[in-house]
Structure 1
Amino acid sequence: MTTRRRWALVALVLAVVVGVPTALRAVPPADSDVAAADLLALVRGAEGRAWSGYVETQGTLQLPTSDDFDGVAALFGERTRLRAWWRSDDDWRVDRLLATGESDLRHDDGVTVAWSYERSEAELSRDPAVRLPRTADLVPPVLGARVLRGIGADDVSRVPSRRVAGTAAPGLRVRPPAPQASVDHVDLWADPVTGVPLRVEVHTSPTGPPDFTSAFGDFSREVPPASVTDFSPTATTDVEVEQVLDIADAANQYAPFRPPGVVGGLPRSSASAGAVGVYGTGLTQLVAIPLRPQEAEPLRAQLRTAVGAADVPGLPAVRLAVGPLGVLVTGQDDEGAWLVAGTVDAPTLERAGRDLLTGTRVVGRR
């Protein structure tokens, strides 16, 4: 055999070995005959189940931002790469993979550690009642569980199966039952064995691409070892304890306000008993955060310059819709404000702003 023919044979073998798995992944899976209600029950039963894998999220939501909200804007407006290990809802680790290293979140027994190995810094914090979104909220199993809150069998239907992370995953379409929702539908594909959501797509319109996607690139049903989620700082790691996690937590703890029990026709969640109000559930939910003037003004200025922003008639507020997310900031220049944001339509958002301005109580003062 000549050298050329020998190398041609090697190349052919490599093409077969490497190409077969790729080809198998590309073959459309046979559709599952599982009923929508049964698939809904399977996915619901997977909440809190162990898993691990590589996840990518892709957002198209270009949100107005300020220093206090930069992280949130990046999560929903960019591509994010994550490696995650989930032993339970109270024992997990999610690493955000960056060009210069990684940024880790580790959670155990109600305490979360934000750890930067490269900078040798770690921040420990309790899990507050109210906080801004973080990477761990956007992995498919967690996002899928949130989507299904308040959803019944009449709100779901089947969509064709899809191959996700090498798995033939049956699909479920979820439509919000509340008329105030700005989301048209969410498509979800789940592991047929465990019910763990493998891919979640959020759609504002009936057709067209999703506004936000979270999907596994690889997935394991095995329980990750405890050593993977354990926080073991090096001798040189600077560990600090944070009493306030973010601006939402700070407002909830210290702002002297109590928002109304109902805004925009949505009832307040029992989990939000402080100054920050969380209203509605699942796909029809909004949050109201009181802001001081120094926090409100930069955000208000950003909002006013955004494409599509509009003043609200009869209300000192500016409003913007970005995909399924509505954002409203009340008040005039140099004033404090209510930041109202959520997956609700414009009339609900505006009504919520009015309800907050007329129904909020001031507490702790005589």
Structure 2
Amino acid sequence: MTRSKRWCVVAAVTLLVILAPLAWRALPADDDPVSAADLVARVRASDGHAYSGFVESQGALQLPVTSKFTDVGALVGERTRMRVWWRGERAWRVDKLLVSGETDLVHADALTTQWDYEDATARQSVDPQIRLPRTADLLPPALGHRLLEDVDAGDLARLPARRVAGRDALGLRLSPGAPQSSIDHVDLWVDRDTAVPLRVEVYDDAGDRNPVFVSQFRSFDPATPSVEDTSFRAPPGTDLSFEEVLDIADAANQYAPVIPPATVGGLAKSPDADRAVGIYGTGVTQLITIPLRDREADPLREQLGTTIGSHLVEGGTVVAVGPLGLLLTGAPGDGGWLIAGTVTEETLVRAAADLASGTRYVDGAGR
């Protein structure tokens, strides 16, 4: 064999090695003749299934936020790259990959550790009853299960199967029928073998053909990760601390002397929200109400006032960013309620009025 022929053989083999995984991913997906309702039942049954993989999320929602909400703004307005090892609800690890390192969330029983590689800090906390979103909430399984909560069968339809992360994935569309919702539809694809959600796309009601938020696995392994994969050992020199209060939502829920009403904007309050912060609605139609002191409300109100599309309504300042609506009640120096969720402006205004008339003030004993 001549040198040129040998080179052609080597080149051909190299090309096959490179293209084989791509060809496998490009194979047409096998579908199952399962109804939308039955597929949702399979997804619910998969809750708690172990997995590992690489996840990317991409949001196009540029929220007007202050320093208290910066992390939330980044989650829904930027590309987030994550490695995940999920043994179950009581043992998991999610590493957010950054240009200069990573920020990890490690959960063991009731304790969550947030480790910042660059700053060499580790913050530990017990998961509170109510908190702001974090990276683990963006994972397709977590997002998919939450969006399908209490879904009406009439709001569901099947989509064609597709390949996601090299696996056959069955398609499902959720088109909420609740008049309060600002989401047009959510498309999900779930693993054919395990029913674990692999890809989630969220579309607002503005008629845009592109999703405003996507979360998907780039690689997926349904095998149970090892205990070592979900463990954390603080490297030498790490500044380790324990946080009694996790974030502004946790702080308000613990210490604000108020109890919001049972219903706002026509949405019922979650039974789990029995203190100062209210969670209303279910699935794709939800809002949260957080009481803020003036030192938190004033800078947020100023930021909202300079945001394109914001305007004054009865009860406060409102702005919509895609399907996410925010309304801050009150005037400078008075504090206020931050009302936010995937609901219409009309619902936000109604919620503000309901909070103004139905909030109950309590003493330190909760009376």
For the aligned pair, the TM-score class normalised by the smaller chain equals over 0.9
Contact 1:40 1:153 in 2 (8 A): no
Contact 1:157 1:173 in 2 (8 A): yes
Residue identity (%): 54
Q: Hey, what's the Cα distance between the residues in 2 that align with 1:49 and 1:246?
A: 29
- Output one character per residue of 1:255-303: Cα deviation in whole Å (capped at 9) or x when no partner: 1111111111111111111111111111111000011111011111111
> Which residue does 2:84 correspond to in 1?
84
Residues 140-149 or 296-305, more deviating:
296-305
- Output one character per residue of 1:125-170: Cα deviation in whole Å (capped at 9) or x when no partner: 0111110000001100000000110113322110111110001111
Q: Hey, what's the Cα distance between the residues in 1 that align with 2:155 and 2:143?
A: 17
What pairs up with 1:277-288 in 2 under 5 angstroms?
277-288=278-289
> Which residue does 1:195 correspond to in 2?
195
> Which residue does 1:310 correspond to in 2?
311
- Secondary structure of 1:208's match? coil
Work out whether 1:268 is the aligned partner of 2:288. Answer: no
Contact 1:151 1:177 in 2 (8 A): no
CA drift at 1:197: 0.2
Contact 1:94 1:136 in 2 (8 A): yes
- Output one character per residue of 1:332-353: Cα deviation in whole Å (capped at 9) or x when no partner: 1222010000011111111001
- Secondary structure of 2:343's match? coil
> Which residue does 2:63 correspond to in 1?
63
What pairs up with 1:91-130 in 2 under 5 angstroms?
91-130=91-130
Q: Hey, what's the Cα distance between the residues in 2 that align with 1:151 and 1:131?
A: 23
4+ runs deviating over 4 angstroms: none
What amino acid is aligned across from residue 221 of structure 1 in structure 2? P
> Which residue does 2:345 correspond to in 1?
346
Q: Hey, what's the Cα distance between the residues in 2 that align with 1:307 and 1:27?
A: 44
> Which residue does 1:297 correspond to in 2?
298
Q: Hey, what's the Cα distance between the residues in 1 that align with 2:210 and 2:112?
A: 34
CA drift at 1:192: 0.7
What amino acid is aligned across from residue 309 of structure 1 in structure 2? S
What pairs up with 1:16-165 in 2 under 5 angstroms?
16-165=16-165
Q: Hey, what's the Cα distance between the residues in 2 that align with 1:347 and 1:83?
A: 39
> Which residue does 1:226 correspond to in 2?
227
Residues 200-209 or 223-232, more deviating:
200-209
Residues 352-361 or 82-91, more deviating:
352-361
5+ long unaligned stretches in structure 2: none
Q: Hey, what's the Cα distance between the residues in 2 that align with 1:267 and 1:133?
A: 21
Contact 2:268 2:281 in 1 (8 A): yes
- Secondary structure of 2:70's match? helix
> Which residue does 1:333 correspond to in 2?
332
- Output one character per residue of 1:171-197: Cα deviation in whole Å (capped at 9) or x when no partner: 001122322111111111001111000
Residues 177-186 or 160-169, more deviating:
177-186
CA drift at 1:207: 5.4
Q: Hey, what's the Cα distance between the residues in 1 that align with 2:227 and 2:129?
A: 26
Q: Hey, what's the Cα distance between the residues in 2 that align with 1:304 and 1:258?
A: 28
What pairs up with 1:6-21 in 2 under 5 angstroms?
6-21=6-21
CA drift at 1:30: 4.1
What pairs up with 1:235-250 in 2 under 5 angstroms?
235-250=236-251
CA drift at 1:109: 1.0
Residues 349-358 or 217-226, more deviating:
349-358
Q: Hey, what's the Cα distance between the residues in 2 that align with 1:88 and 1:152?
A: 27
CA drift at 1:8: 2.3
Residues 206-215 or 135-144, more deviating:
206-215
- Secondary structure of 1:321's match? strand
Q: Hey, what's the Cα distance between the residues in 2 that align with 1:119 and 1:182?
A: 39
Q: Hey, what's the Cα distance between the residues in 1 that align with 2:300 and 2:4?
A: 66
Contact 2:253 2:275 in 1 (8 A): yes
- Secondary structure of 1:260's match? coil
Q: Hey, what's the Cα distance between the residues in 1 that align with 2:315 and 2:170?
A: 47
Residues 213-222 or 231-240, more deviating:
231-240
CA drift at 1:93: 0.5
What amino acid is aligned across from residue 7 of structure 2 in structure 1? W
CA drift at 1:232: 1.7
What amino acid is aligned across from residue 299 of structure 1 in structure 2? L
> Which residue does 1:363 correspond to in 2?
362
What amino acid is aligned across from residue 167 of structure 1 in structure 2? R
Q: Hey, what's the Cα distance between the residues in 1 that align with 2:332 and 2:37?
A: 51
> Which residue does 1:166 correspond to in 2?
166
Q: Hey, what's the Cα distance between the residues in 1 that align with 2:133 and 2:304?
A: 20
Aligned length: 364
What amino acid is aligned across from residue 295 of structure 1 in structure 2? E
Contact 1:157 1:174 in 2 (8 A): yes
Q: Hey, what's the Cα distance between the residues in 2 that align with 1:241 and 1:30?
A: 48
Q: Hey, what's the Cα distance between the residues in 2 that align with 1:16 and 1:72?
A: 43
Contact 2:315 2:349 in 1 (8 A): no
- Output one character per residue of 1:74-94: Cα deviation in whole Å (capped at 9) or x when no partner: 000000000001100111100
- Secondary structure of 2:183's match? coil
